[in-house]
Amino acid sequence: QVQLVESGGGSVQPGGSLRLSCAASTYMSIDDYCMAWFRQAPGQKREGVAAVYTTRGRIYYADSVKGRFTISRDNAKNTLYLQMNSLKSEDTAMYYCAARYLGCNSGSDPADFGYWGQGTQVTVSA
């Protein structure tokens, strides 16, 4: 059974940094999955932030986070990360970890992902 547990959210001032983590259950290997981060602000649609499928060397970033966010993973810990730097108020949202077996497709459409974590809140304000 695929289980994903996010952590690392919190409140930070504009320009600050946070690192989100997504721990995957031991019954899966994140190597076999496209792993992604999505976010959803109140009243907004869920949007793709970043995705990685290491087997094919594919990484996707939304234009709004390119150069500021970095997606990575630790195979030994079966954990996905999202390093977020230079945070802006518009980055405020609930952040979700997601997994899709064998390939990312576009990497940005939430409908393509069948496994989700419970989310972790990120708030950027002065």
Q: Tell me the pLDDT tens digit for each residue of 78-115.
A: 999 999 999 999 999 999 999 999 888 888 999 999 99
Q: Is 57 left (phi over 0), alpha (psi -120 to 50) or beta?
A: left
Residue 55 confidence (pLDDT): 66
User: CA geometry: angle at 110 spanning 106 and 114, to 5°?
Assistant: 105
Q: How confident is the model at residue 125 (pLDDT cuts 50, 70, 90)?
A: very high
Residue 27 confidence (pLDDT): 82
Residue 29 confidence (pLDDT): 83
The secondary structure of residue 107, as a DSSP letter, is S
User: What is the C-alpha R_g of the chain?
Assistant: 13
Q: Pick from 45, 91, 41: which is nearest to 64 by CA? A: 91
Q: Is the pLDDT of residue 49 over 70?
A: yes
Q: Is the pLDDT of residue 76 over 70?
A: yes
Q: How far apart are CA 93 and CA 39, in angstroms?
A: 6
Please give the structure tokens belonging to residue 24.
Answer: 């995957």
Contact 77, 23 (CB under 8 A): yes
User: CA geometry: angle at 2 spanning 72 and 25, to 5°?
Assistant: 60
Q: Is the pLDDT of residue 116 over 70?
A: yes
Contact 117, 79 (CB under 8 A): no
